[in-house]
Amino acid sequence: MTARLVVEDLRVRYPTPSRVVDAVRGVSFAVSREKVGLVGESGSGKSTVGRAILRLIQKPGEISARVLSFDGIDILSASDATMRELRGRRIAMVMQDPKFSLNPVMTVGRQIREAWRAHARGGRHAAERKALEVLEAVKIRDPERVYRCYPHEISGGMGQRVMIAMMLVADPDLLIADEPTSALDVTVQMQVLAILDDLVTSRGLGLIFISHDLNLVASFCDRVLIMYAGRVVETCAADRLNDAAHPYTRGLLAALPQVDREPGPLPVLERDPAWLDG
Amino acid sequence: MLTLDALDVRFGSFHAVRAVGFELPAGGSFGLVGESGSGKTTVLRAVAGLIQDWSGRIVVDDEVQGATRSRHFHRTVQMVFQDPYGSLHPRHTVDRTLAEPLRIHGRSEVGPRVEAALRAVGLGPAFRYRYPHQLSGGQRQRVAIARALMLEPRLLLLDEPTSSLDVSVQAEILNLLRRLREERGLTFLFVSHNLAVIAQMCDRVAIMNQGRIVETAPVAALRRGALHEPYARQLLAASKGYDRAAANALTTYD
């Protein structure tokens, strides 16, 4: 039985002096050994869902849910020690931009060693071996060289692979990737996705892929959740996205320029207030 | 309208643009597409006069350009930048931003022209005295487009004008640019990393890699997938979404 994330009626709210902002309003889904895409425009709440799963919502933000559990552990009531054990070790997160997420004054090797030693026992040599092993797992051609590099000495695509390597070192069961390839060129993006794809297959990882890019998510994931204003308005099998029924999903697809479409004005999304609740 | 011939740009020892040449007829829309570091934006900045050290020939409107740009050049050519958060002065109102080019060029009827420009980009007069932080990303980009249009230029240099916008807002801005081009007979030099946006907005496209144009094609050929150069084909395949087989076939073209 694989570890499974269950989210039911997840809500995140931020009380501000003037009003309460409901960032996530009743999101439900489950993830096991599969690639699930969370798609939406800015402000739709997709990243907040990713952070809420790891209980990384800063005060005064509040999380509530009917069920929020991973492998039977209730995330909302778990102790801080249990959460520390869960974060990184069992559920890892990859952020958008390696430039801002890697420590600029620490070599790549040392950062990966540090990540490993936070979760496992072992000496420096064991850590070094493990670090080189994960760098190889993300298909870095010369792991020994990259191990000794500082983040500014490697390219963006390489940096993103290093971030993924750092997550892998603790051998998690679920990976939350928040726009992991948005800062990358399309060909590099493709290579990084191939690595994620292989990891899901070979290690039996679950993957939550958060992105604004509907086409990319549809081509990469198994299932897609479309978010609008803090709610999931539609869930589709990725290969059936063209059969999407919700007007928001259809509007987004229509507004997206396509290489093979005849030129002409693009259909513009008319936002219907009813989508906020329906 | 614009002719480039053997354009070369070096930054120290880095050869950013190598022998780039193309011709852009008046009323045309030419797309420059490539990945980061391919030199596409550098070409645009060299045309705009924002880069000093270039060699080759830049001819705008039958006028051979040198190290500096004339006032006439700035009335003919204007630029829209990628990031509307960075390209508008945070402490100038929309009114001041739009009026500045008019004052510099000694135009009269500043007020009515500002209002007309706002209307043309789909913003009401209510936006005139707002600051950039009071606008959404799409509204800011509309202001940046309005500013570029204040002097009624004929050539617009567009540097990834929708890359930092959501898909739905991108569609609105692309439609706005298309409409303005039709109404005013503008010529576009459009830089983007996104082949789909170029396919939507241009009639010819040049694919750049490592500072060179590797292939120039009519956009109709791009739509049919009829590109020939290996790097161009790879870029086209990669921009169609994730495909495991295509990922395996990727090569580095240095």
**ipTM at complex level:** 0.83
What residue of A is the nearest CA neighbor of B180? A265
Q: B167, A41: Cβ pair inside 8 Å?
A: yes
Q: B235, A187: Cβ pair inside 8 Å?
A: yes
Which string of b and e fits A126-163 if b means at least 16 CB within 10 Å?
ebbebbbebbebbebeebeebbebebeebebbbbbbbb
> In the predicted model, is pLDDT for residue B70 greater than 50?
yes
Q: Are B142 and B122 in contact (CB under 8 A)?
A: yes
CA distances from A180 to B159, B182, B238, B239 (A): 24, 38, 16, 16
Question: What is the 8-class DSSP label of residue B193?
Answer: S
Q: B35, A185: Cβ pair inside 8 Å?
A: yes
Chain A residues touching B248 at Cβ < 8 A: 194
B225 touches chain A (CB under 8 A): yes
What residue of A is the nearest CA neighbor of B136? A42
CA distances from B174 to A32, A255, A265, B135, B167 (A): 40, 10, 8, 18, 10
- Answer with the residue of higher pLDDT: B162 or A184: B162
**Per-residue model confidence as pLDDT tens for chain A (278 residues):** 456 899 999 999 999 889 999 999 999 999 988 999 999 998 899 999 999 999 999 889 999 999 999 999 999 999 999 999 899 889 999 887 777 889 999 999 999 999 998 888 888 999 999 999 999 888 888 899 999 999 998 888 888 889 989 988 888 999 999 988 887 888 888 888 998 898 899 888 999 999 998 889 999 999 999 999 999 999 999 989 889 999 999 999 999 999 988 888 898 888 888 888 86
Q: A263, B167: Cβ pair inside 8 Å?
A: no
Q: A189, B238: Cβ pair inside 8 Å?
A: yes
In three-state form (DSSP H/G/I as H, E/B as E, the rest C), the secondary structure along chain A is CCCCEEEEEEEEEEECCCCEEEEEEEEEEEECCCEEEEECCCCCCHHHHHHHHCCCCCCCCEEECCEEEECCEECCCCCHHHHHHHECCCEEEECCCHHHHCCCCCCHHHHHHHHHHCCCCCCHHHHHHHHHHHHHHCCCCCHHHHHCCCHHHCCHHHHHHHHHHHHHCCCCCEEEEECCCCCCCHHHHHHHHHHHHHHHHHHCCEEEEEECCHHHHHHHCCEEEEEECCEEEEEEEHHHHHHCCCHHHHHHHHHCCCCCCCCCCCCCCCCCHHHHCC
Q: Are B33 and B198 in contact (CB under 8 A)?
A: yes
What residue of A is the nearest CA neighbor of B36? A185
Enter the tokens of residue A213. Answer: 């890019």
Q: B171, A216: Cβ pair inside 8 Å?
A: no
Chain B residues touching A185 at Cβ < 8 A: 35-36, 193
Q: For residue range B163-220, list pLDDT tens digits in order.
A: 888 898 999 999 999 999 999 999 999 999 999 999 999 999 999 999 999 999 999 9
d(CA A274, CA A190): 37
Q: What is the pLDDT of residue A95?
A: 83
Q: B223, A269: Cβ pair inside 8 Å?
A: no
Longest C-alpha distance within chain A, in Å?
A: 63
% of chain B beyond a pLDDT of 70: 100
Q: What is the pLDDT of residue A1?
A: 44
Q: Tell which of A41, A186, A202, A262 to mutate to test the B interface (max B CBs under 10 Å).
A: A186
Give the model's confidence band at B141: pLDDT under 50 very low, under 70 low, under 90 confident, else very high: very high
Interface of A with B (CB under 8 A): 41-42, 156, 185-191, 193-194, 197, 212, 214-216, 218-220, 251-252, 255-263, 265-269
Longest C-alpha distance within chain B, in Å?
A: 61
d(CA B86, CA B80): 11
Q: B171, A190: Cβ pair inside 8 Å?
A: no
Mean pLDDT of B44-62: 94
Q: A212, B166: Cβ pair inside 8 Å?
A: yes
Q: What is the pLDDT of residue B18?
A: 95
Q: A266, B200: Cβ pair inside 8 Å?
A: yes
Q: What is the pLDDT of residue A2?
A: 57
* Strand B2-11 relative to strand B14-24, pairing: antiparallel
Nearest C-alpha of chain A: how many angstroms from B240? 8
> In the predicted model, is pLDDT for residue B64 greater than 80?
yes
> Which residues, 6+ apart, have CB-to-CB distance to A80 below 8 Å?
none
Which string of b and e fits B128-157 if b means at least 16 CB within 10 Å?
beeebeebebbbbbbbbbbbbbbbebbbbb
Chain B residues touching A190 at Cβ < 8 A: 238, 242-243, 246-247, 250
d(CA B15, CA A155): 18
> In the predicted model, is pLDDT for residue B245 greater than 90?
no
